[in-house]
Structure 1
Amino acid sequence: MNQPRRATPIHEQIYARFRSMIEQGQLSPGQKVSSLRALATELGVARGTVQVAYDRLLGEGYLVARGPAGTFVTEHTAPAKPARARRTAVAQRPLPASDAPDSLIELEGGNPVPLQMGLPALDEFPRKLWARLMARQVRKAGSLNRPAPAGYMPLREALAAYLHRSRGIDAHADQVFIVPAYTASLALAVDALGLARASAWVEHPGYLQTARTLERIGMQTCDVRVDEHGIDVGFGRTHFPNARLAVVTPSHQSPTGVALPLQRRVELLDWAVQHDAWIVEDDYDGEYRYRGHPLPALKSMDSYGRVIYCGTLSKVLFPGLRLSYVVVAQSLVPQFELACRRSVHGGCPELMQAVVADFISEGDFSRHIKRMRTLYARRRAMLAEALAPYCADGFVVHLQDGGMHLLVDVREDLDDVVLASRARQAGYAVHALTAWRNGAPGRRGLLMGFTNIRNRDEAEQLVAGLIRAFDLRAR
């Protein structure tokens, strides 16, 4: 049954309008945009409403703040539509827009779309505890202050301690920087390291938003193949020897789920040292490993300060939190502090940072992670067991050691893009592996989230509906 749609918030409308104008070329790279006050007056809305929209545009790299000079469209901003067309030209057919993996979080009426990826278990979030922590912080005047550019210090301290315990990263609080999103992490790293005109390795298949963000801020991206051991460092060295950056997901490759073995990790670090290059480690779901202990972060092996570690709290707690963080070597702290003062993302609300700091420092975060790891292992097994009877139909589940989604291989005579399109038309948030490979030939598969499957019956009903939606007789 269709539910009535709520009116789109004003800040979302402003954000969407500016993004569209930039992507369509109606606002040119380097062009100055209206000030917060001027635009708020023109639209008849609160200045804070415009601030929210501008903060998001800054965080995603569409705009750049230049202090007293004002806010400008980012230089070298490429229109998004031509960029997508170029990257998907190999497919020889347009991919359905709804299957593009740059927009993984989808909610209908506040509820997750069935089989949605990248979304924590919203039904198990400790809402009462969170409400108490938030109420306590609201009573403190300090939590309502303007946010510090690099982040709220108690949160930076709490994250440094947590990462030392859980991911083997030895860093002080001043090496941790708080940003509103993963895309802001990339923008901050590129700005601080002065890489805007350089080239970067990106995983192939990989998270397309990584390549699109890097291209939007002026970098040239180089697709480096991923095999059964993760990113092929030798391939990258041979084909793209002049790259200055590599963006990788070593703990749980996105989307194949493989972990980068020790030898590859050493090769990657050696490449960075030898070529004066940098590595961005996107540890988007490294906490969730179901066999053995979570793998140490690549950053924990970094003796030369070449790894920029990026983590997210939004995938662990809830997407509306919009809090991520970056950890850098001590030698890079001044560069990153300067980049933060240039206000590439405008800072994150201090109230939410303060609540998360309490949540971590009082032990609730670690307990939540432990509980979710057990819950996700159970929900993962339920989805895998529900899919098992369809192995004979060409749908084979390969269980990896960790992560928040399943990769289901499909037989060669089935088109994963077509299957995903049919599934999405039926209301299932399934993604095609081919879409994560820019349409290039290769392994076919379907990506499905399991974190919000509540019981075995629900898993079986979802899979039965999914198979009907595939309509295999219509091949």
Structure 2
Amino acid sequence: MHVHDILAAAPLERGGTTPLFRQLYAHLKEAILDGRIEASVRLPATRALCTLLDVSRQTVQAAYEQLMAEGYLEGAVGKGTFVSASLPVARAEQDAAPVAQAMRPLSPRGEAMASGMARVRHHDGPLRAFRVSMPGLDLFPFDTWRKLEARHWRHSTARLGYGDSGAGLPALRKLLCAYLKASRGVRCTPDQVVITAGSQQALYLLAHLLLAPGDAAWIESPGYQGAVAPFVAAGARVCPVPVDAEGMDVAHAASRFPDARLAFATPSHQLPLGVTMSLRRRLELLRWAERQRAWIVEDDYDSEYRYTGPPLASLQSLDRSGCVVYVGTLSKVMFPGLRLGYVVAPLALAGPLARARALVDRQGPFVAQAALADFIAQGHFARHVRRTREAYGERREALLDALQARLAGRLRCGPSDAGLDLCVHFDGDDDEDAVARRARDAGIDLRTLGYYANPDAGAACRVDPGLVLGFSAFRPDEIRAGVRTLEQVLVG
């Protein structure tokens, strides 16, 4: 096809949102790249082309100038405008159907990263009972938070440039250190605290720092599937470990996977079963890690919420050999969109962890960290924890009472003394997946226990079928209405 015909066929959309010169520029660029207009070909003069296309000369000049600036065209006054002679020759595919571009293969590490979260279900759609692991956003003092953030946007412009550390804002690390000592018995200094973009980033960094490809890692099953993904992406050999009434079965793991280099555990409140690791198991796990020179990653994701007594001391508080890495998140006690978490690491690990965090994310968001530091220092954080603990306790009681009143004999409740969710098992032969589908159609949101199971786990990790019901994000009346709907789903 002659260059005159190619240009005459330019699909210019008059009156559209894209300027005409940008449309002409794109048409010419595509024709040059796919070889329909070859290198060194002379283009029509601007006056001729504006007449051909019925556009202003300014439109043609702007398109030509942009293409010259990017190296597609060259020329001089009095000589004309040419396609650059230095461009590689492209083979024109005239009158041929577009050929789909084949995806270049990812590396094995890339495949693991891209597929690691495939089994993780993300919250979508409007909030409805009984969405799991969701804090009550109706209880958060957003007006106070907005004022704290606004103050830093107004008065902290000098600190909005690049920082010099991946560890996070020093003031926030100091305040978190004091809070964790008082509430969880965590033994640390501010230098051991590294601020991360939520616990997910913390687990990703730790998996890559602490494990070589092929190293074995103990992971609870059933357990939080988002925690499995970072270890898979790091090339670790994931070893599913059963959970019983005392928490992770350390003896089973030690006998089955004796060469493990790391154990990921949730001692204070296990998701999804809700159990708390016994002191006997905690000491057994610590002795194993000390003996094997292995790491323990303690995920303490919602430890603020215990309804039958004060929060339990962390596993880290019992560590005497420097093997426990403590991971926490603000998503459950504040709001998930904040995307702030933290790691308390042994001092020798804290420096490498901060540098690794800087590698993937340079530094955390200053304003969010500074606002959180103020939120803690001014007492808002402690008041919010007290308020939500009381409200969640009432919501938990509403759920337990409604289940007892309407579904006793159909559902059996698991431990309910902590957390944001309640695990329930079927007393009959209900199919958990079918129940979840019917519930979704009826307008409530359920998670099955099977969702939390590692697909490669053996018979030792099997648990009775059941559901996980979130209660913290819903008022008592919403919870009672949700249980009525669940009764209709189960009983008919």
TM-score normalised to the size of structure 2?
0.73
- Describe the superposition over 1:188-214 as per-residue Cα deviations: whole angstroms up to 9, x where unpaired: 112333544411000011111211221
Determine if the alignment matches structure 1 residue 164 to structure 2 residue 181.
Answer: yes
Whole-Å separation in 2 of the counterparts to 1:82 and 1:314: 24
> For the structure 1 residues 333 and 438, does the alpha-carbon distance in structure 2 shift closer, same or farther, using more than 3 Å as the test?
closer
Task: Point out where structure 2 has 5 or more consecutive residues left out of the alignment.
Answer: 1-69, 71-105
Q: What is the letter of the counterpart of residue 463 of structure 1?
A: V
How far is 1:399 from its partner?
4.1
Partner residue of 1:379?
A: 395
Among residues 374, 378, 399, which one is paired with 1:362 in the alignment?
378
Match of 1:388 among 404, 408, 411: 404
SS of 2:111's partner is coil
RMSD: 2.3
Aligned match for 2:281, one of 264, 267, 282: 264
Query: Structure 1 462/274 Cα, relative in aligned 2: closer, same or farther at 3 Å?
Result: same
3-state SS of 1:146 partner:
coil
CA deviation string 1:385-419 (max 9, x = no partner): 11112334511223422110011111241111221
On the 8 A contact 1:104/1:118 being kept in 2, the answer is no
* CA gap 1:194/1:243 in 2 versus in 1, 3 angstroms: closer
Instruction: Give the secondary-structure state (helix, strand or coil) at the position aligned to 1:311.
Output: strand
- Give the corresponding residue for 1:116: 131
- Distance in 2 separating the partners of 1:82 and 1:138: 38
8 Å Cα contact 1:105-1:119 kept in structure 2: no
Q: CA deviation at 1:143?
A: 4.7
- Alignment equivalent of 1:246, drawn from 263, 269, 284: 263
1:104 Cα deviation after fit: 4.9
Tell me whether 1:77 sits opposite 2:110 in the alignment. Answer: yes
Mapped partners of 2:380, 2:213: distance in 1: 39
Aligned mates of 1:156, 1:301 — CA distance in 2: 22
Cα distance in 2, alignment partners of residues 356 and 451 from structure 1? 22
1:454 to 465, 475, 478: 475
> In structure 2, do the counterparts of structure 1 residues 369 and 106 end up closer, same or farther at CA, with 3 Å as the change threshold?
farther
Alignment partner, residue 190 of structure 2 = 173
Deviations 1:425-471 (A, max 9, x none): 3332210112212467431111011112213x32221111122234x
Is the CA contact (8 Å cut-off) linking 1:430 and 1:448 kept in structure 2? yes
Task: Name which of 341, 345, 369 aligns with 1:328.
Answer: 345
1:400 aligns with 2:416: yes
Partner SS for 1:257: coil
**Amino acid corresponding to residue 121 of structure 2 in structure 1:** S
* Partner SS state of residue 462, structure 1: helix
How much has 1:346 moved relative to structure 2?
A: 4.0
Amino acid at match of 2:149: M
Aligned residue in 2 for 1:416:
432
- After TM superposition, the structure 1 stretch with the greater mean CA deviation from structure 2, 240-249 or 413-422, is 413-422
> Given the alignment, which residue of 143, 149, 152 partners 1:134?
149
Name the amino acid aligned to 2:243: V
Amino acid at match of 2:481: Q
- Structure 1 unmatched ranges of 5 or more: 1-41, 43-72, 85-96
Rounded Cα–Cα distance in structure 1 between residues aligned with 2:116 and 2:170: 38
Deviation of 1:131 after TM superposition, in Å, equals 1.4
Question: Which of 432, 449, 452 is matched with 1:433 structurally?
Answer: 449
Structure number with larger C-alpha Rg: 2
1:191–1:339 Cα contact (<8 Å) kept = no
| 8 Å Cα contact 1:181-1:323 kept in structure 2 | yes
Kept in 2, the 8 Å contact 1:138–1:351? The answer is yes
Instruction: Tell me, yes or no, if the aligned pair for 1:417 and 1:435 is still in contact at 8 Å.
Output: no
- Aligned equivalents of 2:437, 2:327: Cα separation in 1: 32
TM-score normalised according to structure 1 size:
0.76
Partner of 1:442: 463
CA positional deviation for 1:316: 0.9
Cα offset, 1:166, TM superposition: 0.7
CA distance in 2, matches of 1:251, 1:356: 24
Q: 2:312 aligns with which of 266, 291, 295?
A: 295
Is the alpha carbon distance of 1:144 and 1:426 closer, same or farther for their aligned partners in structure 2, counting shifts above 3 Å?
farther
Partners of 2:113 and 2:483 in 1: CA distance: 35
> Are 2:298 and 2:327, in contact at CA under 8 Å, matched by a contact in 1?
yes
Deviation at 1:167, TM superposition (A): 0.7
Residues 265-301 of structure 1: per-residue CA shift (max 9 Å, x gap): 0000011111110000000000100011100011111
**1:237 aligned to 2:245?**
no
Q: Judge conservation of contact 1:106–1:116 (CA < 8 Å) in 2.
A: no
Contact 1:106–1:113 (Cα < 8 Å) also in 2: no
The answer (yes or no) to whether the contact 1:77–1:218 under 8 Å persists in 2 is no
Would the alpha carbon gap of residues 107 and 352 (structure 1) be closer, same or farther in structure 2, given more than 3 Å must change?
farther
1:208 to 214, 225, 240: 225
Sequence identity percentage? 40
The answer to whether the 8 Å contact 2:167/2:354 transfers is: yes
**Corresponding position: 1:103 with 2:121:** yes
Letter in 1 for 2:137: L
Deviation at 1:81, TM superposition (A): 8.8
Q: Report if aligned partners of 2:323, 2:346 keep a CA contact under 8 Å in 1.
A: yes
The amino acid that maps onto 2:355 is: L
CA contact (8 A) 2:212 2:234 kept: no
Aligned to 1:466: 486
Q: Is the 8 A contact 2:407 2:487 kept in 1?
A: no
* Native 8 Å contact 2:211 2:234 kept in 1: no
Give 3-state SS (helix, strand or coil) of 1:401's partner. coil
Say if 1:76 and 1:218, in contact at 8 Å, map to a contact too: yes
Instruction: Please give the alpha-carbon distance, in whole angstroms, between the structure 2 residues aligned to 1:249 and 1:344.
Output: 26
AA at the equivalent of 2:207: V
* Letter paired with 1:200: A
1:74-99 CA-to-partner distances (Å, cap 9, x unmatched) read: 86233579779xxxxxxxxxxxx9xx
Q: Does the 8 A contact of 1:229 with 1:259 survive in 2? A: yes
Q: Contact between 2:266 and 2:300, CA under 8 Å: does it hold in 1?
A: yes
Three-state SS of the structure 2 residue aligned to 1:77 is helix
